[in-house]
Amino acid sequence: MSEAAAAGSPGRPSPRRLLGSVGNLASVPITLFGLVLVTFLIGRAVPIDPLIAVVGDHAPPDVIARTRVELGLDQPLYVQFWIYLQHLAAGDLGRSVMTQRPVTADIARFFPATLELATSAIILAIVVGVPLGVVAASREGSRFDHVVRVVVLAGQSIPVFVIGLVCLLVFYADLGIAPGTGQIDVIYEGMVPRCTGMLVIDAMLDGQWDAASDALAHLAMPALILAYFSLAYIARMTRAFMLDALGAEYVVTARAKGLSRTRVVWRHAFGNIAVPLVTVLALAYAGLLEGAVLTETVFSWPGLGQYLTVSLLNADMNAVLGATLVIGLVYVGLNLLADLAYRLLDPRTR
């Protein structure tokens, strides 16, 4: 996509300038390869002998020798990498030392909870954040704009886990209006048949309305907190894009045509930033994966983030790397989607 096509009005930078997207389509396989390579190298950089992790400290020497050959640890590094790639292609991420299950099974089990959290958060963030950004930009300098800027600033500066703890303190302990940690109350645990892995949906599908509402109540606080941080980012970018768009010549034309303010702001200015904004939204969703790690720890949410941190504390490298790889893949996928959406939706690139 040419730089000129992505350019804004004279003197204004292309919104593409700052989007660290994955680049054009041809580079995706290379990026994926690099991802896998980096993950593999991290795994081999562990000072703990992975052999010990598998057989334990007190295994006899012949077991050690045999396992070493089995795991391929006696081979040179590039051969090990090739074996690793073969395993990956077969969908084998190794076995978790902690749960003694294949890592892929673990991830399949825990990922939907993170998905549930992240998706609820992003929907809230978009629905509130985008209009906030648009209105703030159209009323630049007003009190409303200042409030939005404060909200954005706070969202960029507050650590998410601190807010999580404070919210638990205030809303759960002090005011008692929010349920505690975890995905659902103890009494409902195990009662909802697993279908999608997302408890609220599964409970609704099964007709267990009280379980569903309980799950929803548990989802509310972590989702709202994550949504706030995402919202801050989305509102900030929307506002920045809109300020650029509102200063463009075509907005003067639109006003000169005698169009209503609403139409000028939404149909003309917003219409022009909608496409780069989609890219921002994809990045925001990817960023939620990071926030989820911390939020899940605070709220004991049984998702991939918590799986990752628990594996870290147990030095379960297979699990850590497996989870890292999966998250990295999702990240790449989202960036790719954003890029594709940009190409498809912007009439200048068709």
Partner 1 sequence: MSATAWLLTETPASRRQAAWGQAYRRWLQFRRNKLAMAGLIAVLVLIVASLAASLLALQNPGAQTLADRNAPPSAAHWFGTDELGRDLFSRVLYGGRITLGMVVAVVALVAPVGLLVGTVAGYAGGIADRVLMRLTDIFLAFPRLILALAFVAALKPGITSAVIAIALTAWPPYARLARADTLTIRNADFVAAVRLTGASSARVVVRHIMPLCLPAVIVRATLDMSGIILTAAGLGFLGMGAQPPTPEWGTMIASSRDLILQAWWVPTIPGIAIFVASLAFNLLGDGLRDVLDPRQR
Partner 2 sequence: MLRIRNLTVSFRTPTGISHAVREVSLSVGREKVGIVGESGSGKSLTARAALRLLPPGAILEAEELSFDGTDVLRARESDMRRIRGGRAGLILQDPKFSLNPVMTAGAQIAEAWRAHRGGTRRQAAHAAVDLLAQVRIRHPAHVADHYPHELSGGMGQRVMIAMMLAPGPDLLIADEPTSALDATVQADILRLIDDLVSRRSMGLVLISHDLPLVSHFCDRVLVMYAGRIVEELAARDLAHAKHPYTRALLTCLPSLTHDQPRLPVMQRDPAWAEA
177 binds, among partner 1, partner 2, none (CB under 5 to 8 A by kind): none
* Cα of 147 vs its chain's centroid, Å: 27
Residue among 5, 9, 12, 25 that touches partner 1 (CB under 8 A)? 12
Residue of 86, 89, 91, 94 whose CA lies nearest to 43: 94
Residue 133, both tokens = 């950004």
Give strand pairing partners of 266. none
Q: Which parts of 129-188 interact with partner 2 (CB under 8 A)?
A: 140-141
Q: Which is nearer to partner 2, 194 or 348 (CB)?
A: 348
Smallest distance from partner 2 to CB 263, Å? 8
Site string for partner 2, 255-274 (x = CB under 8 A): xxxxxxx------x--xx-x
85 binds, among partner 2, partner 1, none (CB under 5 to 8 A by kind): none
Residue 230, both tokens = 């995402």
Half-sphere exposure in the Cβ direction for 211 (13 Å, CA) = 19
260 binds, among partner 2, partner 1, none (CB under 5 to 8 A by kind): partner 2
169 binds partner 1 (CB under 8 A): yes
289 binds, among partner 2, partner 1, none (CB under 5 to 8 A by kind): partner 1
Number of H helices, E strands in the chain: 14, 0
65 binds partner 1 (CB under 8 A): no
Smallest distance from partner 2 to CB 250, Å? 4
79 binds partner 1 (CB under 8 A): no
Smallest distance from partner 2 to CB 253, Å? 5
Q: Where are the beta strands (DSSP E) in 159-249?
A: none
Smallest distance from partner 1 to CB 153, Å? 6
Residue of 299, 284, 281 whose CA lies nearest to 160: 299
Smallest distance from partner 1 to CB 199, Å? 24
1 binds partner 2 (CB under 8 A): no
340 binds partner 1 (CB under 8 A): no
* Cα of 49 vs its chain's centroid, Å: 32
* Cα of 272 vs its chain's centroid, Å: 26
In this structure, what are the phi and psi dihedrals at residue 95, rounded to the nearest 5 degrees? -115, 140
Residue among 220, 248, 332, 341 that touches partner 2 (CB under 8 A)? 248
Residue among 118, 320, 338, 346 that touches partner 1 (CB under 8 A)? 320
* Cα of 194 vs its chain's centroid, Å: 23
DSSP codes joined into one string, 58-124: T--HHHHHHHHHHHTTTS-HHHHHHHHHHHHHTT---B-TTT-SBHHHHHHHHHHHHHHHHHHHHHH
195 binds partner 1 (CB under 8 A): no
> What does the binding site for partner 2 look like in residue numbers (CB under 8 A)?
5, 9-10, 140-141, 248-250, 252-261, 268, 271-272, 274-275, 346-348
